[in-house]
Amino acid sequence: MSPLEAAGWEEHVFSCDSFILECGERLEPLRLSYATIGTWRPDGRNAVVLLPSASSVKQWALTHVGATETFDPERYFIVSVDALGGGGSSRPSESLGNRFPQYSIRDNARAIHLLLSQRLALPGLKAVGGASMGAMIALEFGLCFPAFSERLFLWSPSAKCSPMFIALARLVQEVVALDPVFNGGCYIDQPLQGLQVAGRAYFLALVGRRFLEKIPVEDRESIAAKVGQMYRQCWDANDLLSRYHSLTLHDVYSRPEGVDRNVLSKLQSACLLMPSRSDHLLPIEEALEMHASIPRSRLEAIEGETGHWAASQPPDTQEYLRVRDSTRAFLDVVL
């Protein structure tokens, strides 16, 4: 038993018979896998929801949970959720493959609200957030359910997917498709070699030139190989590509009722924006524009040369400590 399990980390599955997606198709059933730790107050205002990046599942949160970490389970009721397309939540690899309906970032926000309000019966949240895709989902959550979460913490944020990220996601898809087990748009046998090479390519774009120039060649190759191995061992190709595709379609200004260039000015939650100064996948300029539009926002950049990877660095790194300390201070400030 891990220390967190001993402290009360519990895994659960929420199921809903039918969930209508923005594209008009249905998930039957909708399933969301999630984990909880801590004790929630009746008003729910000590509840914190953690959302994954595109290539992560709910266990990513373990790094940030602990008495001296970002989220103390003695203070907060912590909920870590598997977004659609991965982990134990509804995903293409269960049976449908490339026939799995197209889901959006906003679909994730709506499904997670259903979990929180129906299964957990939470009347509100202290905060919701995450990195990259998790930040996009949290931002949509704040816009779709404006009175539900007091605060949003958005690490490596962007209001829409950047052209660079869209190009990278397409490259990952094309690299995976070079594997000979590719068959009609659906991977029945896993393209293990394709996934491994795609992971290596993704790593190079994830960190960027300055990081790569600062480390020895052998370290560069070793880290790239580890990312490739993670893709190969931890992901079904159908699931991973569906995640990236949903991210590439995201644009917060495109609402169900039409384009709204002023939508961010309507955000009611207090908002912490933590872009990486060296990120060229979701550049800091996007976060600066968000900061100018969101009424109650604070921007605290992550320094260093780790690019888009900055918000996912291990404990004791300067990037991790920056994220931890700024987020803890944001949660403590009186609004």
Does residue 123 contact residue 116 with C-beta atoms inside 8 Å? no
Q: What is the pLDDT of residues 93-142, one digit of tens each?
A: 887 777 899 999 999 999 999 999 999 999 999 999 999 999 999 999 99
What are the start and end residues of each CATH 1.10.1740 domain in the chain? 163-247
Q: What is the pLDDT of residues 292-319, one digit of tens each?
A: 999 999 999 999 999 999 999 999 999 9
Tell the CATH topology of 3-160+252-332: Rossmann fold (3.40.50)
What are the start and end residues of each CATH 3.40.50.1820 domain in the chain? 3-160+252-332
- Say if residue 246's pLDDT is above 70: yes
Q: What is the pLDDT of residues 14-36, one digit of tens each?
A: 999 999 999 999 999 999 999 99
CA distances to 187, 190, 335 from 183, in Å: 6, 10, 54
Strand partners, 30: 16
CA distances to 17, 50, 137, 180 from 129, in Å: 27, 5, 8, 39
Band (pLDDT 50/70/90 cuts) for residue 184 is low
CB atoms within 10 A of CB 186: 15
Task: Select from 1.20.58, 2.40.50, 1.10.1740, 2.30.30 the CATH code of 163-247.
Answer: 1.10.1740
Does residue 100 contact residue 242 with C-beta atoms inside 8 Å? yes
Predicted confidence at residue 186, as pLDDT, reads: 57
- Say if residue 48's pLDDT is above 90: yes
Band (pLDDT 50/70/90 cuts) for residue 185 is low
Strand partners, 77: 47
